Amino acid sequence: MDQNPYSIGNHADLQQGGLQGKSFTDAVRGMQIIAAALMTGVLVFLGIVLMMTQGDVLGTHTPEMVTILGAGFGVLAIVNHFVIPKIIAGSQLRQIVSNGFSELDAESKSDRLLSVYRGQLIVALAMLEGAAFFNLIALMVEKNVVALGVATLLLSAMVFRFPSRDKVV
């Protein structure tokens, strides 16, 4: 039933999953702050690039080496932001289960699962952010609209990944 590729829960609602209350809300708010900070960093650096280039970033000439590398890293980051966090989360979940997860109370279970989700969120957003910064550097150096497009796509992927109560459950 769970269609969200980012979710670690498989419950139909918050009541069944036991993920509710102030600690859950605080955990989601913390993840939202982290995600917003990472996205803000990309936007601030875009502003710096626009100031340094005096807005002359819409060159349509053939992309040069840095722009091509940036686009390649962007594609790689988009693919890997799905794959690598799942691998990390799977490993963490196996470790949690082997350490007696079933014996924990509901609040401890929620805390452990939220910790796994937070970790995979940070890893995914950091990969996208790094590739976005690389493309903004390419934009600053080569002034090609391709780098701006890739950076915008990466920032959009970060926005799509922004945590909410429904996505975290």
91-109 pLDDT, tens digit each: 999 998 888 888 888 888 8
Q: Please tell me the distance from the alpha carbon of residue 43 to that of residue 147, in angstroms, as a whole number.
A: 14
Q: What is the pLDDT of residue 12?
A: 40
Q: Give the long-range contacts of residues 135-140, CB within 8 A, separation 24 or more.
A: 135/67, 135/70, 135/71, 135/73, 135/74, 136/42, 136/45, 136/46, 136/49, 137/49, 137/66, 137/70, 138/66, 138/67, 138/69, 138/70, 139/49, 139/53, 139/57, 139/67, 140/49, 140/52, 140/53
Residue 144, strand partner residues: 59
Each of the 169 residues of the chain gets a pLDDT tens digit; together they read: 445 554 545 444 444 445 566 788 899 999 999 999 999 999 999 999 999 988 787 877 888 899 999 999 999 999 999 999 999 999 999 998 888 888 888 888 888 889 999 999 999 999 999 999 999 999 999 999 999 999 999 999 999 999 998 888 7
116 to 9, 56, 66, 77, 92: CA distances (angstroms): 11, 42, 35, 20, 7
Are 112 and 101 a contacting pair, CB within 8 Å?
yes
pLDDT, position 3: 57
- Give pLDDT, residue 11: 42
Q: Which distant-in-sequence residues (6+ apart) come within 8 Å of 115 by Cβ?
A: 92
